[in-house]
């Protein structure tokens, strides 16, 4: 009797386990059937992107005139054109970059980093670095000019180069130094004529000779005024013209604040006005120096010569500050007049009147 009972119990247990296993399989099968299959990436757009700049090349505008060399340097690179595909995969957006298909010019701009040099007959002369506008302007010193070409020799061709930040040198162009030699010769001629004119007593100069003095002054001003030969003669001409001693240029200034404010207003309303740095410094600080006053005197003298209406008071020859409102000169000249009024105050009209009388002789 006990044997058969045990067999029935084992059979029922085995059947229960089998049923449970089948149930689990059915459950897993049902879950697998309900889960969606993975989707393939879906392309939703195409675009292009430029790669990093490479193969940078330099171009330049080169001018050589009046002993100056002016260089404006620009650069242009090439960039790979890389196709970009935008795809959505499993609900996420991805960008897939392909192989470059072509290249095109890019990164076109003025050059700020680099050293510009002049190479002549195997010798290199460093000129400087371009400013924020990619421009470099420099004056060839006499010593450099003599080293570039000896007297009597055929002036050579100079190569203008730039050394980039990686130390690689690139040629920008060439300059025929013949023009520079001619400029040096012309400068010597002007200086000689100006010296002869200034060596004569100024009271003996005729109106035409005085006018020629102005012409020489303006022609020399086109050269580099930092050349001590030019700067010295220009200062002497102004001292003789105003009949003032050189020591009087540093006399105690009157500091007419009304005139200073008027000069600042002119500068504020004419933002494109280009002035020497020392003049701007004097205006900003309100503290004059001999150079700023000398600049103002030269500009005023040239303005009185060009605009004779400024030298007319009624029917007589003379100058009044109020004339600046009736016959206003250009902004630079008006600022120079106010700078002189700031320095010497209103009685300076007397000296400007004397200058007007000399100009009308």
Question: Looking at the domain assignment, is residue 20 inside a domain?
Answer: no
Closest CA to 336 of 287, 285, 272, 276: 276
If asked whether residues 276 and 352 sit together in one domain, one would say yes
Q: In what order do the strands lie in the sheet with 123-128?
A: 123-128, 115-120, 157-163, 169-176
If asked whether residues 67 and 171 sit together in one domain, one would say yes
Q: Is the pLDDT of residue 68 over 50?
A: yes
If asked whether residues 253 and 345 sit together in one domain, one would say yes
The band of 9, judged by pLDDT with boundaries at 50, 70 and 90, is: very low
If asked whether residues 161 and 190 sit together in one domain, one would say no
Question: Looking at the domain assignment, is residue 6 inside a domain?
Answer: no
Domain end call among 196, 212, 241:
241
Q: Domain of 197?
A: 181-241
Q: Which residues pair with residue 105 across a beta bridge?
A: 78
If asked whether residues 285 and 201 sit together in one domain, one would say no
Question: Looking at the domain assignment, is residue 52 inside a domain?
Answer: yes
Question: Looking at the domain assignment, is residue 2 inside a domain?
Answer: no
User: What is the DSSP track for 258-318?
Assistant: HHHHHHHHHHHH-TT----HHHHHHHHHT---HHHHHHHHHHHHHHHHH-GGGGEETTEE-
If asked whether residues 161 and 52 sit together in one domain, one would say yes
Of 15-24, 95-104, 217-226, give the lowest mean pLDDT range.
Answer: 15-24
If asked whether residues 235 and 250 sit together in one domain, one would say no
pTM beyond 0.95, yes or no: no
Of 40-44, 70-74, 126-130, 139-143, give the lowest mean pLDDT range.
Answer: 139-143
Domain end call among 146, 176, 206:
176
d(CA 173, CA 194): 36
Q: How far is CA 127 from the centre of its chain?
A: 16
The residue written with tokens 């001018």 in the block is 63
Question: Looking at the domain assignment, is residue 103 inside a domain?
Answer: yes
Domain end call among 191, 222, 241:
241
Pairing of strands 157-163, 115-120: antiparallel
Question: Looking at the domain assignment, is residue 217 inside a domain?
Answer: yes
Q: Which residues pair with residue 117 across a beta bridge?
A: 126, 161
If asked whether residues 148 and 59 sit together in one domain, one would say yes
Of 148-162, 197-211, 287-301, 328-342, give the lowest mean pLDDT range.
Answer: 148-162
Q: Is the pLDDT of residue 143 over 60?
A: no
Question: Looking at the domain assignment, is residue 72 inside a domain?
Answer: yes
In this structure, what DSSP letter does residue 228 have?
A: H
Question: Looking at the domain assignment, is residue 26 inside a domain?
Answer: no
If asked whether residues 219 and 325 sit together in one domain, one would say no
d(CA 352, CA 46): 75
In degrees and rounded to multiples of 5, residue 143 shows phi and psi of -65, -45
Check residue 335 and give its pLDDT.
93
If asked whether residues 133 and 147 sit together in one domain, one would say yes
Q: Looking at the 3D structure of the chain, how many domains does it have?
A: 3
If asked whether residues 64 and 82 sit together in one domain, one would say yes
If asked whether residues 104 and 54 sit together in one domain, one would say yes
Q: Look at residue 116 and give its three-state secondary structure.
A: strand
The band of 65, judged by pLDDT with boundaries at 50, 70 and 90, is: low
Which pLDDT tens digit goes with each residue over 243-259?
A: 654 444 445 567 788 89
Of 28-42, 219-233, 312-326, give the lowest mean pLDDT range.
Answer: 28-42
CB atoms within 10 A of CB 231: 15
């Amino acid at each position: 009797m006990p044997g058969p009972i045990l067999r029935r119990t084992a059979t029922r247990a085995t059947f229960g386990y089998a049923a449970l296993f089948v149930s689990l399989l059915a459950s897993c099968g049902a879950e697998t059937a309900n889960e969606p299959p993975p989707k393939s990436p879906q392309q939703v757009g195409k675009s292009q992107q430029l790669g990093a700049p490479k193969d940078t090349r330099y171009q330049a505008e080169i001018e050589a005139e009046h002993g100056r060399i002016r260089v404006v340097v620009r650069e242009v690179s090439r960039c790979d054109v890389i196709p970009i595909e935008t795809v959505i995969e499993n609900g996420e957006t991805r960008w897939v970059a392909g192989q470059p298909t072509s290249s095109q010019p890019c990164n076109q701009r003025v050059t700020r980093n680099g050293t510009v040099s002049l190479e002549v007959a195997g010798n290199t002369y460093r000129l400087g670095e371009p400013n924020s506008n990619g421009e470099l302007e420099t004056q060839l010193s006499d010593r450099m000019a003599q080293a570039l070409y000896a007297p009597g020799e055929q002036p050579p061709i100079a190569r203008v180069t730039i050394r980039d930040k990686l130390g690689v040198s690139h040629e920008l162009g060439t300059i025929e130094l013949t023009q520079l030699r001619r400029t040096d010769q012309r400068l010597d001629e002007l200086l000689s004529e100006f010296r002869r004119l200034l060596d004569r007593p100024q009271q003996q100069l005729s109106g035409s000779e005085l006018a020629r003095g102005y012409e020489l002054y303006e022609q020399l001003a086109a050269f580099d005024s930092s050349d001590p030969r030019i700067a010295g003669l220009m200062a002497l001409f102004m001292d003789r013209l105003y009949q003032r001693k050189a020591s009087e240029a540093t006399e105690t200034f009157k500091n007419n604040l009304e005139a200073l404010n008027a000069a600042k207003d002119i500068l504020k309303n004419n933002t494109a006005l280009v002035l020497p740095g020392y003049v701007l410094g004097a205006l900003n600080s309100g503290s004059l120096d001999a150079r700023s006053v000398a600049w103002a005197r030269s500009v005023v003298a040239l303005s009185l010569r060009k605009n004779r209406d400024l030298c007319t008071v009624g029917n007589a020859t003379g100058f009044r500050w109020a004339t600046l409102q009736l016959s206003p000169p250009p902004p630079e000249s008006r600022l120079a007049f106010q700078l002189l009024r700031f320095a010497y105050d209103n009685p300076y009209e007397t000296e400007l009147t004397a200058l007007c009388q000399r100009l009308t002789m």
